[in-house]
């Protein structure tokens, strides 16, 4: 158990629908990162939050949005789903401190299947 | 952000030492070098991190030359369970972490 909790583990839905993925960071970590990994593809950075504020944005589609709540958990919202959105979605966390020596701790991922 | 370049894939046999080199020519003074391991359908897992010279832990060694423009992850005596994708990452003050395609290591019996 890495300490980063992601729910749900598996999700099957239909095109056009909307889903929400949830992430609880490791205790003490203030920063949350979201990544998308399609089948046999690399990790695509989506977005980063630090203590409730958006810090960096990657290749996140306009149909996707995220937020980090006061208790530091984060949610990734995916709407108007398309077949190509089927992927593993990983959440990672770290302290977010500007030390240059930060390490990411990843959750087990949420597997989204869009039919 | 410092861009990294690694071999796309490598093959090895059980019991051999595997060295994976990562190039990061534009690394900045304050950047650290971190390696992660990812098994299929699992999140990446931290292996080792270093700033300069050599770092060793129970899993691997990391060699960083003086100019820091490259680094080499060394896995001693690999086993079948070391088959995974290995990512080299150069961190920039806790900013967004962008992963490259990584190196797919296949360990053969």
Mean pLDDT by 10 residues, chain B (109 residues): 85 97 88 92 93 93 95 96 94 66 95
**Range with lowest mean pLDDT among A36-50, A73-87, A88-102:** A88-102
Q: What is the CA radius of gyration of chain A?
A: 13
Residue B59 CB burial class (10 angstroms; 0-12, 13-18, ≥19): middle
Residues B107 and B37: beta-carbon distance below 8 Å: no
Contact check, Cβ <8 Å, A58/B98: yes
Residue, of A114 and B24, whose pLDDT is higher = A114
B51 Cβ contact list (under 8 Å, min separation 6): A101, B32, B33, B64, B68
Residues A104 and A94: beta-carbon distance below 8 Å: yes
Residue B61 CB burial class (10 angstroms; 0-12, 13-18, ≥19): middle
pLDDT at A110 over 80: yes
pLDDT at B92: 60
Contact check, Cβ <8 Å, A42/B34: no
pLDDT at A100: 60
pLDDT at A50 over 80: yes
Residues B33 and B49: beta-carbon distance below 8 Å: yes
pLDDT at A102: 79
Instruction: For residue B85, give the nearest of B33, B24, B42, B34 by alpha carbon.
Output: B42
A3: left (phi over 0), alpha (psi -120 to 50) or beta: left
B8 Cβ contact list (under 8 Å, min separation 6): B101, B103, B104
User: Phi and psi for A74 in degrees, rounded to 5?
Assistant: -130, 150
Contact check, Cβ <8 Å, B43/A92: yes
B105 Cβ contact list (under 8 Å, min separation 6): B9, B10, B11, B12, B18, B20, B75, B78, B82, B83, B84, B85, B86
Name chain A contacts of B44, Cβ cutoff 8 Å: 43, 90, 92, 104, 106
Angle at B44 between CA A108 and CA B52, to 5 degrees: 150
Confidence of residue A99 (pLDDT cuts 50, 70, 90): low
Q: What is the mean pLDDT of residues A49-69?
A: 93
Angle at A112 between CA B83 and CA A32, to 5 degrees: 75
pLDDT at A74: 98
pLDDT at A47 over 60: yes
Beta bridge partners of B85: B38, B104
Beta bridge partners of B36: B46, B87
A28 Cβ contact list (under 8 Å, min separation 6): A95
Q: Please name the member of A90, A98, A105 whose beta carbon is closest to the beta carbon of B93.
A: A98
């Amino acid at each position: 158990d890495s300490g980063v909790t992601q729910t749900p583990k598996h999700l099957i839905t239909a095109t056009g629908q909307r889903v929400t993925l949830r992430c609880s960071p490791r205790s003490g970590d203030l920063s949350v990162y979201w990544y998308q990994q399609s089948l046999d593809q690399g990790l695509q950075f989506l977005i980063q939050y630090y203590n409730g504020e958006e810090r960096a944005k990657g290749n996140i589609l306009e149909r996707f949005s995220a937020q980090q709540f006061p208790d530091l958990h984060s949610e990734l919202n995916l709407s108007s789903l398309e077949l190509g959105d089927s992927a593993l979605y990983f959440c990672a966390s770290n302290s977010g401190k500007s030390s240059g020596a930060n390490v990411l701790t990843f959750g087990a991922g949420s597997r989204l299947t869009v039919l | 952000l410092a861009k990294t370049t690694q071999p796309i894939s490598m093959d090895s046999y059980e019991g051999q030492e595997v060295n994976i080199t990562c190039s990061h020519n534009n690394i900045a003074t304050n950047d650290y070098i971190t390696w992660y391991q990812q098994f299929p359908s699992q999140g990446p897992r931290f292996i080792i991190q270093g700033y300069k010279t050599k770092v060793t832990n129970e899993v691997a060694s990391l060699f960083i030359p003086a100019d820091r423009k490259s680094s080499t992850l060394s896995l001693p005596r690999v086993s079948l369970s070391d088959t995974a994708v290995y990512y080299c990452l150069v961190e920039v003050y806790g900013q967004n972490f962008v992963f490259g395609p990584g190196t797919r290591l296949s360990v053969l019996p």
